[in-house]
Structure 1
């Protein structure tokens, strides 16, 4: 009887070890699924932010690109006209935001791939590199345009630059709104870089 009991004990011990391994595997699986859920949530937030950035950058491009105001003095043959392409800074602003808008449209399918397959790191790495370039491009355009907008509102007596916004009110409202929208787009791009970095860090 003692021999049977000892053999029974040796059979039960591997079962307990196997159960422990199965339990450990379940815990690891649960932890892995939780990490995948977090990555998928970040990917969904990334997609929503890209739509918001697209709206801001495209709005800035349209607002600046359509800014035009003509003032008539004395007769209709003697006019003063203000257009965005009168200044290179505004032209660069339109080009920068237009390129950013096009990039955002092209990046949406990659963002969807990150939602469907959150474990893929190559797509996320590509997005973080291109988003960083977009941050620099949009920030440069917005900064250059903001300097001109400030001069348009305040002027500069040292260089005899008058505050044209007193006459071209509608023009200044459009270019000011465009600059604000561009800065919003740049801020969203920074958030996109942070989200991508956080997603890569979880891998």
Structure 2
């Protein structure tokens, strides 16, 4: 498993998602979403999944935290819900069917669920699993160490722990009914600091 095994889809939606995230999010968060995509692709191999919609997975992974960007922050919705609607709007412009537009919304929203059943939503499961690794270090030993090192060398964590923790805490304070509140109460800040990826 090597970095060059995974190439972003060469599609309007994938290019648009990448352009949007690099314009509106910090380098630390850009690297986080790109690592999340790579971890998701790696977990697809580790778990033996077939029939993955790679364009959907990439687009959802790249946009999954866009709702944290001030330009896309919603004063009512949780950041993952706001991001889901950004995903729908972008993919509508890229010519996706209404069904696939809804799917990108679903997987962005579900990345913040405690777990996602792969039998029901394999792309949602992969994104939830991969973000669990990048934020909390879950299942890190299932991804080959050399691949983890290569990904982290190319997309370093920078100030992710402090920045992401601060963003989600602000969301939790302003939206106490949201998934952000659950994450904070579940020890998000400590998990970020203790993530083994911080020490590779």
Structure with the higher fraction of residues in strand conformation: 1
Structure with the higher fraction of residues in helix conformation: 1
Which one has more relative contact order, counting CA pairs under 8 Å at least 6 apart?
A: 1
With normalisation by structure 1, the TM-score equals 0.31
Larger radius of gyration: 1
